[in-house]
Amino acid sequence: MRAVSRPSGLACLLLASNPSYADYQLNLEPGVTSFSQGAYDIHTIVMWICVVIGIIVYGAMTYSILNHRKSNNPNPAKFDDNTTVEILWTVIPVLILLGIAVPATKVLMAMEDTSNSDMSIKVTGYQWKWHYDYVGEDVSFFSNMSTTQEQINNKEAKGEHYLLEVDNKMVIPTNKKVRFLFTSSDVIHAWWVPAFGVKKDAIPGFINESWAEVPEPGIYRGQCAELCGANHGFMPIVVEAKSEEDYLAWLDEKKAEQAAASASAEKTWTMEELMAHGETTYNTYCAACHQVGGEGLPNVFPAIKGSPVSVGDVGKHIDIVINGVAGTGMQAFGPQLNDADLAAIITYERNAWGNNTGDIVQPSDVKAAR
Amino acid sequence: MNAVIEEHHDHDHKPSGLGRWLFSTNHKDIGSMYLWFAFTMFFVGGALALIIRAELFQPGMQIVEPEFFNQLTTLHGLIMVFGVIMPAFVGLANWQLPMMIGAPDMALPRMNNWSFWLLPAAFGLLLASLAMSIMGMGSAPNFGWTFYAPLSTTYGPDSTDYFIFSVHLMGISSVMGAINVIATIMNMRAPGMNYMKMPIFVWTWFITAYLLIAVMPVLAGAVTMMLTDRHFGTSFFNAAGGGDPVMFQHIFWFFGHPEVYIMILPAFGIISQIVPTFSRKPLFGYSSMVYATASIAFLSFIVWAHHMFTTGMPVAGELFFMYSTMLIAVPTGVKVFNWISTMWRGALTFETPMLFAVAFIFLFTMGGFTGLMLCIVPADFQYHDTYFVVAHFHYVLVTGAAFSIMAAVYYWLPKWTGNMYDETLGKWHFWLTCISANVLFFPMHFVGLAGMPRRIPDYALQFAEFNQMASVGAFVFGFSQLIFLYVVIKCVRGGQKATTEVWEGAKGLEFELPSPAPFHSYTTPPQVK
């Protein structure tokens, strides 16, 4: 899927000694959409024009450096003006630029045409995860990075897709024009999948558009491209393109999954169930700031271990998790998670790491507090 | 008796000790303070960059937390832009402009003093936030030097207010410096020096000063709007209150793009002084150099949104900013061609200033090529906010602007101190700097094209090799600058005496003054033919 161009000469010598990492890449990838192919083509054209101009300019300079040094040419020429060449080197660049502008404009016009799409997915940036909403399908979910903190902190070997893997992939059908609508719930993010050639800012209060039509099934990876806070480097994007048939099957599965999740919010959970579900959910949604051990980061993210909130009044704790704390990084998780997830997280926070309050928070408690 | 006569001829009347510097109204003393300030900040900002590069040496988090990493990138950018490149150019202007136009001093000496002494206050505020962060008392600014809203407003740390006032002080300092430059150039040129006889360095600073006056207030407006958004309930940049986060970017880059040229036009001036000297041949196409500089300055006001192609502009907007940005290649190309034609059939020698100047032409042109690539909108969608951009602007700012400053220091240091610097060490400094800068910045093109976003503290495994290479280059580059420091100190303390002309091919009024130049430069104006 990825174009891996092999370097030559010096670069090869320098790099050959380090086989432990994944394949590196020197150039832009052509990608899989007409969009990314267009970007790649114009990139290639402009780069080669630059290379040719570079050879001429650097060649002239090098010639002068070698041949016009004082030891070779003790008597300097006196000229300091030549109208003809000055006109030439103003006009020729203008013509070259016109030559670049024409194809660049064509590619751009094609890219910006989002009309006649087959389906739409609303992409919302959150600190620091993506939310995908399949418009008109009643399917929506969050997509979190699934690389573990242990891998990041060098306590475990790094996997093949280190930092570029998620718990819930975006799934799209092949050969359909998929329109993306971008917005954000907090700061500006940018959704970027290099293989699609799509990079668009997700801006709070605005909706941006782009599209992709992927011809072949495959998994495509990208990252947030706009600085969005502490974990900007840890909100990857993974898109899986499936044949239409597989896509529809996935969609049904996802719908069933979401129905089951809301059903589970109705039942009464045991402490063990809540703690087990709470640990995974906490590690996904909370640990980026409050850390896996609940100790937070001094003066940046408060600790949960032993904090007055998590060992004090249950109602206040539920309120903070549901509604967030205005003016801080603490988001309102009420709209993001279902009652069972929230109940599990709160129960976990109140009983893990020696907090041992013994409190059990049921989904019904969360529902009542909403 | 001799001593008495010397005393009599010394009209300095300068206070001794600390007072000489605190109350100085002398363009040379103030110029020296600007340059030493910039040099100090160069090491501070450089140290931050080395922590960044050390963290990025390998995948995984090793040295700092992601939160602190963002503070490092932010302060590195702010310090290098506002604390190094800009003050260094103002320092060079202070030293050189009066000597080059045949004046005794700057036109507004007391304002000159104030505009310098605001800077330590501004950077004291900014660095205080970093010190507090290190001591565990909250976070330093962590939103990047471009401080996009709402990350810097609604979500900014408490120290954002320190940042805002720091930027206000820098802005006041820059505007006053610029007014001084314009007043000096317009009023104090030696008789006979009409505008089209001014040295190119004077011309480029003249135009730069107008850019500063035009855009620093825009920056001040942006941070003031941030301040009222944060504390007084306005919603300029808050979508929830009817404001517009994208408007912040428009305002910022309306400042930010001319700012880019503020940091490169004086560099063009320096190179245009140095290349003719060491080619022993007059500058090729003087008037086209002047017009090219003016064109670049004009164009700099109509290209700002090329930093914002991914914000969702209408196609017409994208096309306009793409075309206008392409145009900048024309006058910039003219400059490069003129420098090469100046060298053509000259009698070239390669002392350290010339080495840096030639490297500037080579490597700034590299930055120019990637700049042209970046303005092509469809391709920019792929390049935007990746290491390709980081490579691009480090080629223009480090191997461009910073190299020109180093070239200028080597070029004029003998005039300032009366002593020649150590040429062997100068060459060591040049070669180590030039090679390591390329080892540092060139691989960034590759990781950028391969898909590595900028401002990330950790990266996927396929970016590892080139990051490792860049980090090695960074440490060599950083420690090589200690040679520069040593060469400057050694030269200030003594050495082979410099002649009046200093360099064999040197022309210009500053090379008609004795070395070291007298405290009050030209007390009687020279006649320019």
Q: What is the pLDDT of residue B144?
A: 95
Give the β-pairing of A129-134 and A198-202.
unpaired
DSSP B124-151: HHHHHHHHHHHTTSSPPP-STTTT-TTT
The strand pairing partners of A125, in sequence order, are A130, A184
Residue A192 is inside which H or E element, if any?
strand A189-193
A31: left (phi over 0), alpha (psi -120 to 50) or beta: left
Q: Identity (one letter) of the amino acid at B269?
A: G
Q: What is the pLDDT of residue B499?
A: 94
Nearest CA in chain A to B311: A201
CA distance B394 to B396: 5
Classify residue A123 by its DSSP letter.
E
* Spans of chain A, pLDDT less than 70: 1-22, 327
The answer to whether A263 touches A363, Cβ cutoff 8 Å, is no
B138 contacts A108? CB cut-off 8 A: no
CA dihedral B399, B405, B408, B414 (to 10 degrees): -120
User: Could you confirm whether B507 is annotated as catalytic?
Assistant: no
On chain B, the residues whose CB falls within 8 A of the CB of A85 are 337, 341
Statement: residue B3 has pLDDT above 70: no
The residue ranges of every structural domain in chain A are 27-112, 119-255, 265-369
DSSP B494-511: --SBP-SS-STT--SGGG
Tokens of B71: 């503070």
**Percent of chain B at pLDDT exceeding 90:** 94
Beta sheet of A236-242, edge-to-edge order = A170-173, A236-242, A218-224, A189-193, A198-202
Q: What is the pLDDT of residue A19?
A: 41
Mean pLDDT along residues B103-113: 95
* Selected catalytic residue, list B32, B133, B139, B173: B173
User: Could you confirm whether B307 is annotated as catalytic?
Assistant: yes
pLDDT of B190-222, one tens digit each? 999 999 999 999 999 999 999 999 999 999 999
CA distance A82 to B282: 13
Does B346 contact A at CB distance below 8 Å? yes
- CA-CA-CA-CA torsion sign (B312, B317, B323, B328): negative
CA distance A195 to A213: 11
Residue A362 DSSP SS3 = coil
**Burial of residue A240 (number of CB atoms within 10 Å: 0-12, 13-18, 19+):** middle
Q: ipTM for the complex?
A: 0.91
Let me know the angle formed at the C-alpha of B53 by B51 and B59, rounded to the nearest 5 degrees: 110
Please state which architecture CATH assigns to domain A119-255.
Sandwich (2.60)
Does B186 contact A at CB distance below 8 Å? no
- CA-CA-CA-CA torsion sign (A30, A33, A34, A36): negative
Tokens of B216: 């620093």
Residue A189 is inside which H or E element, if any?
strand A189-193
CA distance B15 to B9: 17
Q: What is the pLDDT of residue A48?
A: 95
First to last CA, chain B: 39
CA distance B297 to B215: 12
The shortest C-alpha distance from B319 to chain A (Å) reads 7
Q: What is the mean pLDDT of chain B?
A: 94
User: What kind of fold does domain A265-369 have according to CATH?
Assistant: Cytochrome Bc1 Complex; Chain D, domain 2 (1.10.760)
User: Could you confirm whether B454 is annotated as catalytic?
Assistant: yes
A161 contacts B150? CB cut-off 8 A: no
* Domain spanning A27-112, CATH class: mainly alpha
A108 contacts B469? CB cut-off 8 A: no
Mean pLDDT along residues B417-431: 96
Nearest to A162 among B59, B386, B446 (CB): B59
Same fold, A119-255 and A265-369: no
The shortest C-alpha distance from A187 to chain B (Å) reads 5
pLDDT of B445-457, one tens digit each? 999 999 999 999 9
Q: What is the pLDDT of residue A2?
A: 40
Q: What is the pLDDT of residue B41?
A: 97
The answer to whether B386 touches B486, Cβ cutoff 8 Å, is no
Nearest CA in chain A to B141: A229
Half-sphere exposure of A309 (CA within 13 A, CB side): 15
pLDDT of B257-311, one tens digit each? 999 999 999 999 999 999 999 999 999 999 999 999 999 999 999 999 999 999 9
Measured between alpha carbons, how far is residue B34 from residues B91, B118, B417 in Å? 5, 11, 16
E strand residue ranges, B130-244: none
The shortest C-alpha distance from B434 to chain A (Å) reads 16
Q: What is the pLDDT of residue A285?
A: 84
Which residue, chain included where needed, has tokens 């009599």? B8
Nearest to A68 among B151, B346, B379 (CB): B346
On chain B, the residues whose CB falls within 8 A of the CB of A1 are none
* Selected catalytic residue, list B21, B34, B205, B261: B261
Tell me if the bond preceding B276 is cis, omega within 30° of 0.
no
Residue A370 DSSP SS3 = coil
The answer to whether B83 touches B38, Cβ cutoff 8 Å, is yes
A320-327 long-range Cβ contacts below 8 angstroms, 24+ apart:
A321/A345, A321/A346, A322/A366, A322/A369, A322/A370, A327/B154
CA distance B199 to B92: 14
SS3 content of chain B, % helix, strand, coil (to 5): 70, 0, 25
Task: Mention every residue, 6+ apart, whose C-beta is less than 8 A from residue A32.
Answer: A1, A195, A196, A214, A215, A216, A218, A220
* Selected catalytic residue, list B32, B153, B174, B480: B174
Statement: residue B9 has pLDDT above 90: no
Residue B289 is inside which H or E element, if any?
helix B286-299
Q: Return the number of CB contacts < 8 Å for A and B.
A: 309
pLDDT of B459-511, one tens digit each? 999 999 999 999 999 999 999 999 999 999 999 999 999 999 999 989 999 99
B282 contacts A111? CB cut-off 8 A: no
Q: What is the pLDDT of residue B460?
A: 94
CA nearest to B336, candidates A268, A118, A127, A54: A54
**Burial of residue B218 (number of CB atoms within 10 Å: 0-12, 13-18, 19+):** middle
